Amino acid sequence: MAEIIENIEPVTVEKPYTFRPLNATDMMPMFRIIGKIGIDEFSNCFNSDAVQSILKNKGKDTAKITDVVGLKIFLDAANVIINHIPDCEEEIFQLLASVSGLSVKEVKAFDFVTFTRMIIDFVKKEEFKDFIGVVSELFK
């Protein structure tokens, strides 16, 4: 039997959006979103009874304890975000529309995968990372 070998080339799917560079006009919507997510609740993630209990009983294996505490804090923080995302739904659509040059209606019409990719691409923007870095200085 003859083997058929096909050259399979990756398919590049063009995204239906592009982002402009972030600027000062994007700060207020981002602050509104952060405020609605409940930034003050994040401090509770570090001071939870579970985290404090793990730290008090850490024993000898510090690396494992650090991993457990880190995972616990990550899960608690993710829970805070997930619980509050619906509170800032409109602000998220408006911000993404603003930085992409699309209308809110167009952003809302994206399928689940495209919208998720859009959020991930936005959070990976260098200016967004810089913004988070500067804002985090408030908590030092």
Average pLDDT over residues 19-27: 95
Residue 135, C-beta contacts closer than 8 angstroms, at least 6 positions apart: 34
Query: Are 95 and 29 a contacting pair, CB within 8 Å?
Result: yes
Average pLDDT over residues 93-106: 97
25-75 residue pLDDT tens: 999 999 898 888 877 776 676 676 776 676 676 665 666 666 767 777 778
Q: What is the pTM of this model?
A: 0.69
Q: Give the pLDDT band (50/70/90) at residue 104.
A: very high
Output the pLDDT for position 76. 79
Q: How high is the mean pLDDT of the chain? A: 82
Output the pLDDT for position 130. 87
Q: How far apart are CA 63 and CA 51, in angstroms?
A: 15
| Spatial CA neighbour of 122 closest among 136, 105, 137, 102 | 102
